[in-house]
Amino acid sequence: MRTPVFTGSCVAIATPFDANGTINYDAFGRLIDAQIAGGVDAICVCGTTGESATMTIREHIAVVDYCVKRVNHQVKVIAGAGSNDTSAAVYLSLHAQDSGADALLHVTPYYNKCTQAGLVKHYEYIADRVELPIILYNVPSRTGVSFTAESYKILSENPKINGVKEASGNFSLLAHTRHICPDDFYVWSGNDDQVVPMMALGAKGVISVVSNVAPELMVKMSHLCLENNFEAASKLQIEYMDLIDALFCEVNPIPVKEALNLMGMEAGPVRLPLCEMAEKNKAVLKAAMERAGLLK
């Protein structure tokens, strides 16, 4: 029987850049350390929040390697390795494996808009060539394609596929997936505003953007759910909805990097085609952070 890569809260960690756009490893190290100090159960590096889409292959490999070394087995490291080119996804996966990552996160191939059969073949091809457990990543708002529960069922038969980060917002899909897939095909919430309801339906935790600025909050929320204390977890989910909403008032990771900069974490700018946050949204974000006690 498969065991989950992690339970609880995993930060989808941002990648700090200098003013000239190069990776700021000193700031990245401090951000990693702060997440570990905040109690996170895992760190997901080079995902959407980490701006992997605008990294070169060399940068991607180097950032994963740095994260693994900095974490030094204190928590699990999940390396983003997804691509719309299956061979490139294998290439990134093998480098992450060589770096010592604990698992891989593979987003559905974007732009190609493959069929469900193509999705299954893509993931089986990768799984046949790596040793690490794979977490699928379903985020159709970004990729233009979604899994069906039936495709999850087929992929759940592969022992290397550990489960899925579900960010479709589709609770019917989640319920049907939990109904027809085995119990050891695990689900994690990919949406910070849906952690508690998804965990009520059996998700094992969250891969969180909000954790970048409030790791203790997301750890507490997810662990209360794991303890079946959904009443207390629900209160946290509701109490911090304005912070969560503010962190997504523009496309991720624009607001969370702005928030980190406001907190003095030196996240730096985002890379084009992302751009600086609108002033009116900065004000909304700052006010929400002040209410949440994140700014002194």
Catalytic residues: 137, 165
- Give, in degrees to the nearest 5, the angle at Cα 28 between 27 and 30: 65
Which SS3 state, helix, strand or coil, does residue 166 take?
A: strand
Residues sharing a CB contact under 8 Å with residue 253, sequence separation 6 or more, in sequence order: 14, 48, 49, 50, 51, 209, 270, 274
Strands (E) located in 90-220: 103-107, 134-138, 161-166, 186-189, 205-208
**DSSP β-ladder status, 76-80 and 42-45:** parallel
Closest to 190 (Cα-Cα) out of 163, 217, 213, 216? 163
Q: Which two tokens stand for residue 262?
A: 């406001």
Four-point Cα dihedral 121, 125, 126, 131, nearest 10: 130
**DSSP string for 6-73:** --EEEEE----B-TTS-B-HHHHHHHHHHHHHTT-SEEEESSTTTTGGGS-HHHHHHHHHHHHHHHTT
Which H or E run contains 217? helix 215-226
Strands (E) located in 61-160: 76-80, 103-107, 134-138
- Give, in degrees to the nearest 5, the angle at Cα 106 between 173 and 16: 115
